[in-house]
Amino acid sequence: MTIRHTVLSTLAHTNWRLAAPALLLTCACLIVEAASDDPEVVVPTATPYTASISPSGVVTPAPAASASPYTPDAVSPGGVVKAPIVAIAPPTTSPAPGTAPGNIPGNVITPGVPAAAEAPLMKLPVNARHMLVIDDSGRVLMAKDADAVVPIASLTKLMTAMVVLDANQDMREEIRIDDADVDRLKHSKSRVRVGATMSREAALELALISSENRAASALARHYPGGMPAYEAAVTAKIRALGLTHTALADPTGLSPGNTSTAIEMARIAAAAARYPAIARISSDKSSEVEINGRPRELRNTNHLVGAKGWDIRLSKTGYTEEAGRCLAMRMKSGGQTITVILLDADGSAQRLRDAAAIRKSLAKMAAA
């Protein structure tokens, strides 16, 4: 029998004045139980160790910091924070004239050292099983099991968009939805029928705003050289961005073989943000495209885009049964650009609540 049951039984047969101490003990137990149910995220408040990248792409580690090394003991009992603290150093190179920005090596992620042991830590309950929040200076603000390799669902489409734009094809060229673009793995619904035609730009908007799988598949099929050339380009892109824990099996994200980590998804989001088309399209609350010559209105799958108080500069949602609800987002907060990665949340509402909790926490940190 638990302490709670014992005390409640006692209360039922005891004068309330005599039972007051027991009642206080019960309340304390309930508070402890409630606290233990919340996943905890440790938020370092000091700038972590970073590395720099030279114009030639050589990574130079910074001198070791004097702070104490990260250990799981820094997390409370039942702590869910397993990922080592990492830093994403902004690249020091600039795009060469006529070169797509994504061809430049992306931000470098290196192991870091968190705040010294005496530095205060914040705890933020989030539903997502994997999370990373960083600013553009490379400071890790929040992390939760950020180095676990997990499915990323339609966050894949950020990579698809970058690879398509790298090819420098005519965005006004008409492409066609084919039978090969039909989802026979998850049997997901689609807003476009087989045989529908649209511009390459319209297909990109469908893929990024509405997360349309057939549009993403058609973009890959119409890559110069077809699907084999597209797959080779994706492999090269993964290598160019220095992603060692990312694998992409298809251009849509429907395959559970499309996997990455919260750490590497932050790098992908930072690289995608360097493409003006991706940043513009994915941060639109709504858009209108022509399919078969007729206008079609699109709504962003991230309902935070365009919402009051949110300044979102890049966004992509994702969902499959294996991946859960996912979000990659870059937003302005406290005068900084913040990258937020949420992987494997239990539902759309939970994903939105996580993002809102992070935003509120960031505002408190900025005001402190």
Question: SS3 string of the chain?
Answer: CCHHHHHHHHHHCCCHHHHHHHHHHHHHHHHHHHHHCCCCCEECCCCCCCEEECCCCCEEECCCCCCCCCCHHHCCCCCCCCCCCEEEECCCCCCCCCCCHHHCCCCEEEECCCCCCCCCCEECCCCCCEEEEEECCCCEEEEECCCCCEECHHHHHHHHHHHHHHCCCCCCCEEECCHHHCCCCCCCCCCCCCCCEEEHHHHHHHHHHCCCHHHHHHHHHCCCCHHHHHHHHHHHHHHHCCCCCCECCCCCCCCCCCEECHHHHHHHHHHHCCCHHHHHHHCCCEEEEEECCEEEEEECCCCCCCCCCCCEEEEEEEEECCCEEEEEEEEEECCEEEEEEEEEECCHHHHHHHHHHHHHHHHHHHHC
Closest to 338 in 3D by CA, of 301, 365, 317, 318: 365
- Identify which has the larger pLDDT, 18 or 225: 225
Predicted local confidence at residue 138, as pLDDT: 80
Percent of residues, the chain, with pLDDT higher than 90: 61
For the cut 90, the answer to whether the pLDDT of residue 344 exceeds it is yes
* For residues 192-206, average pLDDT: 98
In the beta sheet, which residues pair with residue 330? 314, 339
* For residues 21-27, average pLDDT: 46
* For residues 107-132, average pLDDT: 54
Percent of residues, the chain, with pLDDT higher than 70: 67
- Choice among 3-12, 103-112, 252-261 with the minimum mean pLDDT: 103-112
**Tens digit of pLDDT for each residue in 138-185?**
889 999 999 999 999 999 999 999 999 999 999 999 999 999 999 999
Predicted local confidence at residue 123, as pLDDT: 59
Predicted local confidence at residue 99, as pLDDT: 35
* For residues 237-246, average pLDDT: 98
Predicted local confidence at residue 368, as pLDDT: 73
Give Cα 219 distance to the centre of its chain. 23
- Choice among 59-73, 88-102, 230-244, 319-333 with the minimum mean pLDDT: 59-73
Closest to 86 in 3D by CA, of 262, 242, 332, 330: 262
For the cut 50, the answer to whether the pLDDT of residue 331 exceeds it is yes
- In whole angstroms, what is the distance from residue 278 CA to residue 209 CA? 10
Predicted local confidence at residue 39, as pLDDT: 31
Joined together, the tokens standing for residue 34 give 């409630």
Active site residues: 154, 157, 211
Predicted local confidence at residue 124, as pLDDT: 78
Mean residue pLDDT of the chain comes to 76
- The pTM score is 0.71
**Tens digit of pLDDT for each residue in 275-290?**
999 999 999 999 999 9
| Domain residue ranges in the chain | 3-36
At residue 341 the predicted structure's pLDDT band, cuts being 50, 70 and 90, is very high
Predicted local confidence at residue 167, as pLDDT: 97
- Choice among 33-47, 190-204, 243-257, 271-285 with the minimum mean pLDDT: 33-47
Predicted local confidence at residue 365, as pLDDT: 81
* For residues 196-201, average pLDDT: 98
At residue 96 the predicted structure's pLDDT band, cuts being 50, 70 and 90, is very low
At residue 15 the predicted structure's pLDDT band, cuts being 50, 70 and 90, is low
Secondary structure E strands in 124-268: 130-135, 140-144, 150-151, 174-176, 197-199, 259-260
Predicted local confidence at residue 367, as pLDDT: 79
